[in-house]
Structure 1
Amino acid sequence: MKLWKLVTLLSIPAWLTVASGCAIISENECQAGLWYERGIEDGARGQTQATVYKIAQKCHEYGVRTDTAAWMRGYEEGIERYCTPENGFAVGRRGRNYEGVCTGPTADLFLANYERGLAVYQAEQQYAALVDRYESAERELYRVEEALDESESKEERRALRSQRRSLLREMRHLEAEMMHFGGFGAFNPLLFY
């Protein structure tokens, strides 16, 4: 087995350990017992109330009792910070998931703005995919042009010219698609509000 394959295979378990090591709460955080503050933090991040049960379970493993009442008081304050229309747009714009934690009159405003922000995020992702495809076609066109300059057989030149025409058609199509987003190199998020 080649060395790089062996190193890759051996590093996978280490990577999985690091990735899964993102525990909901550390032993030190459990020991600190800042439950009200932790509740504010979790609420302000849009976590669900089920988070407190996961925290309590983890802290129980460390032999620490969780003050869920203090966490819930903080959580309510944090949720108020999270469930604003402005934050709804920001959460959507970053492509984050919304866990349905907002209630009451702010829920509708949050959700409407979240959906607006998410639409902009998704459009930006589509635009980026178009740009990637365009740049890939452009690189391939450059390679075909070089091969055309160096080709000696008539059949090879014919095939390369056909490939060049196909790439140019694809690039024109991609340019037209990018115009729906503001143009090449000019993504305009205001088109998606």
Structure 2
Amino acid sequence: MQFGLKVALILSFLNLTACATLSPAECQTADWYRIGERDGSAGYYSRLDQHYKACQKVNIQPHQSLYIQGYNEGIRYYCQPQVILNASLIGKGNAQVCPAQSRASLDRIIYVGHAVYETERYHESLENRRAELVHLLEYTKLNVQDRLQLSEELNSVYAELRINEKERQAAHDQLGNIEREYKIRRQN
């Protein structure tokens, strides 16, 4: 998947998850600094407008300056290479919320993290299909044509696994380069 498309998908996901941001009870007991910090450290764009809308139902207005202070602190946390890498390794991550001067390097980290994530997910799906085909071929009574068709598909899966292994290795090599360059230690 192309990098630009991945970023667009992530941004649309973040927008979809931003709908009902707070319950009426949360609005009534809100610590606006902490809410801003939580939003920033999760990599969201500011959700102050959504919080205003959510809290209008109970006639509460968010404390804008506290929210912004917390949000800025959260963004400082989120926009660290380690945090961005961890997010991208699970298919998330958005450097566009980060300060402009750090976006290019963070975008590179996200690109590499997503490459690792995508090649691993694809490998898992190929392995699942391989196991399913082997099981069918070994334990299912099949006519000759069906057996031949499944065998051909299995050969295709093996070929894809070989290609995927090279892509996985290249992605992991790039990941190692990122980790060395930014002195990142991942916890497995």
- TM-score between the two structures when normalised by the length of structure 2: 0.72
**How far apart are 1:192 and its partner, in Å?**
5.9
Indicate the residue corresponding to 2:179 in structure 1. Answer: none
Letter aligned with residue 24 of structure 1:
T
**How far apart are 1:73 and its partner, in Å?**
0.9
**How far apart are 1:99 and its partner, in Å?**
6.8
Matches within 5 A, 1:128-147: 128-144=124-140, 147=141
Deviations 1:126-166 (A, max 9, x none): 1122122212212321344xx26xxxxxxxxxxx2333233
Letter aligned with residue 73 of structure 2:
E
Letter aligned with residue 165 of structure 1:
L
Q: 2:38 aligns with which of 34, 38, 41?
A: 41
Is 1:176 the counterpart of 2:159? The answer is yes
How many residues matched? Answer: 156
RMSD: 2.4
Bigger CA radius of gyration = 1
Q: Which has the higher contact order (CA 8 A, sep 6+)?
A: 2
Indicate the residue corresponding to 1:190 in structure 2. Answer: 172
Letter aligned with residue 59 of structure 1:
C
**How far apart are 1:53 and its partner, in Å?**
0.6
Q: Classify 1:127/1:96 alpha carbon distance in 2 versus 1 (closer, same or farther; 3 Å).
A: same
- Which shows bigger deviation, 104-113 or 80-89? 104-113
Indicate the residue corresponding to 2:113 in structure 1. Answer: 117
Structure 2 unpaired stretches of 5+: 1-16, 176-188
Matches within 5 A, 1:61-76: 61-76=57-72
Is 1:30 the counterpart of 2:40? The answer is no
Letter aligned with residue 128 of structure 2:
D
Letter aligned with residue 27 of structure 1:
P
- TM-score between the two structures when normalised by the length of structure 1: 0.71
Structure 1 unpaired stretches of 5+: 1-19, 149-159
